[in-house]
Amino acid sequence: MRIFSWLSTYLFAIALPLLIVTASVRFLVNEERVTSYGFRDNDVSSTMGLSLEELEKVSQKITSYFNDDSEFIQIYISVDGRQDTFFRDVEVIHLRDVKTLLGIVYRLSEISLAIVLTYIATTIFIRSEHNMTDLAREVTFSIAIGALILVGISSYVFFDFDSAWTQFHEIVFANDFWLLDPSRDRLIQMYPEQFWETATLACTVLIAGQMFLIGGSAVLYFGWKRGWGFSPRKHMRRRMRSHQR
C-alpha cells in the first residue's frame, strides 16, 4: 500500500506539469487569433500574394484537419479560372506527420488530466491519511520541478532558436519532409520560422503563467495552514499572555 501511495504521488508530480504543457499546446494550436497575429506580424499576405482573409480560411482548414479523422489534407485554390492544389505532396505528407505528433500531444493531455483529477479526488474523498496540506505540498513540488525544467529548456531554445528548431524536427520526425523550400512551398511561406519563434514564446509564457498561478496558490494555502505570516488571532493571544505576565 505504501509503495502504491509513493508511485501515485510521483505519477501525479509528473502528470501535473505535463498537463499544463500539453493543454497549452492544444489551446494554441486551435486558437485562430494566434495564427492571424502571426500572419500580420510576418506580413505573410505580401509574401504569398494572398489576402489575410484567404490565409485565415486556409489556416482554419488546417486546424479542422488536425481535429478530424482524415489521413491527408488537400486544399484547392482558384488560379486563372481553374482549380489548383494549394500544397505540394511533400507539404501534405509533412502535415500528416504534424497531425500524428499532435495526436500524441492530445492523448498525453487527456491521460495527464485523468491522472491529476483521479489523484485529487482520491486525496479528498478516499485517502484519510492524506489531507489538503499534503496535496498542496505535492503540487508545490511538482510545479517547482516543472518550472526548473521549463527554465532550462527555454534558456536553450531562445539562446539559439534556429538550432533548437532544427534539432526539434530531427528528433520528432523520422523523415526529412519538413525541409521545405521557402521559394515555392506555401506551408513554410505561411508559417516561417519567425512565426514559430513567436508562437513558442507565447506558449512558454502561457505555461509559465499557469505554473505561477497553480504553484503560487499551493504555496499560499500550505503557508496559511502552517500558520506562516501574520495572524491577527495569534497576535492577540500573544498580547494577552504578555499582559497576564
Domain map of the chain by residue range? 2-49+103-239
Write the CA distances from 47 to 43, 89, 139, 189, 203, integer angstroms. 7, 21, 47, 7, 25
What pTM value is reported for the model? 0.86
User: In the chain, what percentage of residues exceed pLDDT 90?
Assistant: 69
Rounded to the nearest integer, the mean pLDDT of the chain is: 88
Alpha carbons 204 and 24: distance in angstroms, whole number: 9
Alpha carbons 21 and 142: distance in angstroms, whole number: 13
Alpha carbons 231 and 115: distance in angstroms, whole number: 36
For 141-159, write each residue's pLDDT tens digit: 999 999 999 999 999 999 9
For 210-236, write each residue's pLDDT tens digit: 999 999 998 888 777 666 654 555 545
- C-alpha 223, offset from chain centre: 29
Alpha carbons 112 and 20: distance in angstroms, whole number: 9
The confidence score (pLDDT) of residue 42 equals 94
Q: What is the mean pLDDT of residues 66-81?
A: 85
